Amino acid sequence: MTGFRVPAFLQAISAWIALAPVLVFMLAFFVLPAIGLVQISFYPHTAGTVLTPGFTLAHYAKVLTDPFYLSKMLLTLRVCALVVFFSLLLAYPVAYVLVRGRFAGKGLMIGLLLSPLLTNFVVLVFSWILLFGPGSFLMKGLQPLFGAGFKLLYSESGLVISLVHVAFPYALIPVITAIAQIDKSLEEAALSLGAGPWKTFFLVVLPLSVPGALSAAFVTVTIVLSSFAFALYIGGDSVLIVPLLIWQAVRDTLNWPLAAALSVSSFLVIFALLGIGMHLAGLTRAQRRLA
Amino acid sequence: MSAIELRNLTKSYGGLPALQPLDFRVEDGEFLSILGPSGSGKTTLLRMIAGFITPDAGSITIGNQEVSRLPPERRNLGVVFQNYALFPHMSVLDNVAFGLRMRGIGRNERTARAAEALDLVGLSGFEQRLPRQLSGGQQQRVALARAIVIEPAVLLLDEPLGALDLKLRKRMQIELKQLHHKLRRTFIYVTHDQEEALTMSDRVAVMDKGRLLQVDPPSIIYARPRTAFVAEFLGESNLLPGELRQTADGGTVFVGQEGLVVALTTGQGEVGLGKAALAVRPERLRLVPVDAAAAIKAVVETVIFKGPWLSLVAHGAGARLEVLLPNDGRTFDLVPNVGETVALGFDNADVRVVEAAT
C-alpha cells in the first residue's frame, strides 16, 4: 500500500500555512495599530480637535524632559521594580518548598496559590478597595499602629500590595520551573562542602534560577502596566503611573498624540531595561562559556 | 582519629525498612566498599553518613564525635556524587575552592590550595574552564579535587565511576586507589560493581535488602562467603543443593544429590544441620579421571573458549555448574565434547556451606 504523499511544494509552505492565521491576526490587530500609534505620537496637538496630521517631536520632548512626566515615569519604574521584587521575594520560598518538599496536599496547595489566576480582575479590585477602604477591619487594625493618617487606598504601598497579589501566581510558575531544573545533588554538594542552607540558596539555587526570575520579572512588569483597573481604583490620582496618565490624556485632555507618545516611550524604556537585564544574564553566561 | 562507628542504625520509609539495624566500624584510613544491588540500602547508608538522610534510630560516630543529628555542612565530609554535581555556573577553580571559601579561607590561599588539588588529580591548566567544557572523566576528577581539598575526615563516594566507559573506569579505579594511598584518609565507596569493590577495597561490605551481610577483606569475602547471596554476588558461584548431616563420629558431612558426599571441617559455614547448599567457585572445579571418588558426575552442555580460560557449563548433582579451566597448555588436552559425562573434582577446603536457596 502506498501512503498519501504530501506534494513537495505543500511541504515547503506547510510551516507558513500553520502560522498564517495568527500572523494575519497579529498584523491586522496589533502591528498595524501599533504603527498607527507611533504615527499619532508625532501629530501636533490642537485644542478642540482630536487628531491633526502633522509631525512634531514636542510630545516626546515633553514626556522625556518635563519634570512632571519624568517623575511619573520614575514612579512607574519604581512601582514595577517593587512589585517584581516582592513577587520574587514571595515566590522563591514557596516555589522551593513546592519543588523540594514532600508533604500531603501539595497539589491542593498549588491550586490554592494559583487561584487568583482564575479570579476576575474587577472582583479582585473591588475586594482590595473594600479591604483598604476606611472602616475595614484591616485599616481598623493597622491605624492604631501607624497613626490615623495611615492609608493604603490611594497610596503607592496599597497599589504595590494589591499588584503583588495579582502578579504572584504569574511570577511563581517560572520560578517553580527554574528551581525544578536544578539538580538536587548540587545543593547536597554545597551542603557537604560546608555551605549552610542560606549560602547554598544564594550561591547555587539563586544564580542557577536567574533565567526563571527574569521571565517572572517580564510577566510581572507586563501585569503592572496592563492592570489598569488597579491603577485607577487603588492608586488613583495619588499614584499617577503611566497607564493612568495615558488614560487622562485620552479621556480628560483629549491629547491623543501625547497619550501615544507616553505609551511608546514607556514601552521602550521598560522593555529596554528588561532587555538589558536579560542580555547581562545571558552575557555573563556567554563570557563564562568563552573563558 | 577518623574511624567511623555505626551503631544500631535504622531507617524505614512508610513502614518499609530501608535499613535494618546495622552495626559496623570503618577503620581510620581504610578503603571500604559498600557493595550491593540497587535497593540494597547502600546509598541510603552513605547518604545517612553524609547527613542527607536522618536515621530513625542509632548513632554515627566519626572520630570521637557523634554526628547523626548534625546537619551535613557541619560534618566535614567530602562527598563525590555519581553525576559529579559540579556547579555549572562556576569555573573549575571556583568549584574546587568552594569548600575553602565556605571555611572563610582568603582568596589567595584558596586559589593556591585548589590549584594544588587540581594538580593532584592531573587537571592543572583547566582552572578557568566551565564544567560542561570537560569530559566525564575530567568532571569526575574535578569532583574528587573539590571533595579532597577541604581535607575531610572521610571521603564518601557514591558510585563515582558509574557513568564512565569501561576503559576510563579501569584507569580511574587505579587512580582512586593511588589517591587513597597518597592521602591516607578513610574512603567509603558505594558500588554495585563487584569487580570494582574487589579491586579497590581494603574491606568490602555486602548489603542486600537493607541488611549488612558480611564485611571482610576482598580475598576472604571471595573465598569464604557467609551466605548464598554473597557467594553469588561476588564472582560466580556454583550452588549445589543438599543437606548438612552429623556423622556417627561427630563430624559434619554435606550430602548432595546423585551420591555426592563431602566431609567438612569446622569453619566452612555458619548454617545448622538440615537443608543447605554447597558453594564452590567455577575456577576451583577441575576435571578429574571419571573413576575418582568424591567427584561430581556431570553432563557437559556448553564449551566456550575465552582466551586465558575455557568455560564449561555442565549439569550434575542437581545443579547447573560452571567450570573455568585455565589455558595452561595441559588442561585443554582433556577438553570434553558436548554431551559427554565428566567428573569434576575439588578440594574439600575450597567449598563453603551456605543456607539453601529458597
Q: What is the pLDDT of residue B253?
A: 86
CB contact (8 A) between residue B88 and residue A208: yes
Determine the distance in angstroms separating the CA of B55 from the nearest CA of chain A, rounded to an integer. Answer: 17
| pLDDT category of residue A291 using cuts at 50, 70 and 90 | very low
Helix or strand or coil: residue B312? strand
What type of residue sits at position B145?
A
Determine the residue among A183, A193, A203 to mutate to test chain B binding: the one whose Cβ has the most chain B Cβ atoms within 10 Å. Answer: A193
> What CA–CA distance (Å, rounded) separates A42 from A125?
35
CB contact (8 A) between residue A196 and residue B71: yes
Chain A residues with CB under 8 Å of B102 CB are 193-195, 199
Q: Which three cell numbers stand for residue A145?
A: 499602629
| Interface list for B 299-358 with A (CB within 8 A) | none
Q: Does A281 touch chain B (CB under 8 A)?
A: no
CB contact (8 A) between residue A189 and residue B87: yes
> What CA–CA distance (Å, rounded) separates A131 from A137?
7
Chain B residues with CB under 8 Å of A286 CB are none
> What CA–CA distance (Å, rounded) separates B235 from B279?
12
Mean pLDDT for chain A overall: 88
pLDDT digit string (tens) for chain B, length 358 residues: 578 999 999 998 887 888 888 888 999 999 999 999 988 999 999 999 999 999 999 999 998 899 988 999 999 999 999 999 999 999 999 999 999 999 999 999 999 999 999 999 999 999 999 999 999 899 999 999 999 999 998 999 999 988 888 888 888 899 899 999 998 899 999 999 988 999 899 999 999 999 999 999 999 999 889 888 999 898 889 999 988 888 888 788 888 888 788 888 877 777 778 888 999 999 999 888 777 766 888 999 998 888 888 889 999 888 899 999 888 877 666 778 888 888 898 888 888 988 876 6
Q: Contact at 8 Å (CB) between B99 and B117?
A: no
Q: What is the pLDDT of residue B163?
A: 81
Higher per-residue confidence, A19 vs B266: A19
CB contact (8 A) between residue B146 and residue A193: yes
Q: Does A190 touch chain B (CB under 8 A)?
A: yes
Q: Which three cell numbers stand for residue A141?
A: 487594625
> What CA–CA distance (Å, rounded) separates B272 from B266?
12
Instruction: Return left, alpha or beta for A248; rule: phi > 0 is left, psi -120 to 50 is alpha, else beta.
Output: alpha
Pairing between β-strand B296-305 and β-strand B309-316 as defined by DSSP bridges: antiparallel
Q: Read off the pTM.
A: 0.83
CB contact (8 A) between residue B128 and residue A291: yes
Would the ipTM clear 0.95, i.e. be above it?
A: no
SS (H, E, C) chain A: CCCCCCCHHHHHHHHHHHHHHHHHHHHHHHHHHHHHHHHHCCCCCCCCCCCCCCCCCHHHHHHHHCHHHHHHHHHHHHHHHHHHHHHHHHHHHHHHHHHHCCCCCHHHHHHHHHHHHHCCHHHHHHHHHHHHCCCCHHHHHHHHHHCCCCCCCCCHHHHHHHHHHHHHHHHHHHHHHHHHCCCHHHHHHHHHCCCCHHHHHHHHHHHHCHHHHHHHHHHHHHHHHHCHHHHHHHHHHHCCCHHHHHHHHHHCCCCHHHHHHHHHHHHHHHHHHHHHHHHHHHHHHHHHHHC
Smallest Cβ distance to A204: which of B52, B87, B146? Answer: B87
Q: Which residue has the cell 497539589?
A: A107
Q: What is the pLDDT of residue A52?
A: 84
Q: Contact at 8 Å (CB) between B135 and B93?
A: no
**E strand or H helix at B23:** strand B16-26
Helix or strand or coil: residue B260? coil
Q: Which residue of B has its CA nearest to A205?
A: B87
β partners of residue B187? B31, B155
Q: What is the pLDDT of residue A142?
A: 86
Q: Which three cell numbers stand for residue A256?
A: 491623543
| Interface list for A 56-75 with B (CB within 8 A) | none
Helix or strand or coil: residue B195? helix
CB contact (8 A) between residue A192 and residue B73: yes
CA A1 to chain centre: 55
Q: Contact at 8 Å (CB) between A262 and A64?
A: no
Q: What is the pLDDT of residue A146?
A: 86
> What CA–CA distance (Å, rounded) separates A75 from A266?
12
Q: Contact at 8 Å (CB) between B129 and B61?
A: no
CA A51 to chain centre: 31
Q: What is the pLDDT of residue A170?
A: 92
Q: Does A189 touch chain B (CB under 8 A)?
A: yes
> What CA–CA distance (Å, rounded) separates A263 from B133?
45
Q: What is the pLDDT of residue B55?
A: 92
CB contact (8 A) between residue B78 and residue A190: no
Q: Which residue of A has its CA nearest to B51?
A: A192
Distances (CA, A) of A23 to A12, A14, A29, A33: 18, 14, 10, 14
- CB-based contacts of B216: which residues, under 8 Å, 6+ apart? B203, B204, B224
Number of A–B residue contacts, CB under 8 Å: 71
Determine the distance in angstroms separating the CA of B176 from the nearest CA of chain A, rounded to an integer. Answer: 20
Q: Does A100 touch chain B (CB under 8 A)?
A: no
Sheet holding B57-62, edge to edge: B16-26, B4-13, B57-62, B65-66
Distances (CA, A) of A229 to A120, A236, A260, B28: 11, 9, 19, 70
Q: Which of A42-51, A85-94, B58-67 comes out lowest in average pLDDT?
A: A42-51
CB contact (8 A) between residue A188 and residue B77: no
Q: Does A199 touch chain B (CB under 8 A)?
A: yes
Helix or strand or coil: residue B282? helix
CB contact (8 A) between residue A194 and residue B150: yes
Q: Does B222 touch chain A (CB under 8 A)?
A: no
> What CA–CA distance (Å, rounded) separates B46 from A213?
34
Identify the structural domains of chain A with CATH numbers, from first to last: 7-41 (no CATH), 57-102+154-290 (1.10.3720.10)
Determine the residue among A192, A284, A289, A290 to mutate to test chain B binding: the one whose Cβ has the most chain B Cβ atoms within 10 Å. Answer: A192
Dihedral angle sign, alpha carbons of residues B166, B167, B170, B173: negative
Q: Which three cell numbers stand for residue B46?
A: 552513605
CB contact (8 A) between residue B91 and residue A191: no
Helix or strand or coil: residue B171? helix
Distances (CA, A) of B264 to B20, B133, B252, B270, B279: 32, 60, 6, 12, 13
Q: Does A290 touch chain B (CB under 8 A)?
A: no
CB-based burial, A102-121: b 16+ in 10 Å, e otherwise: eeeeeeeebeebeeeeeeee
Q: Does A213 touch chain B (CB under 8 A)?
A: no
Rg (CA), chain B: 24
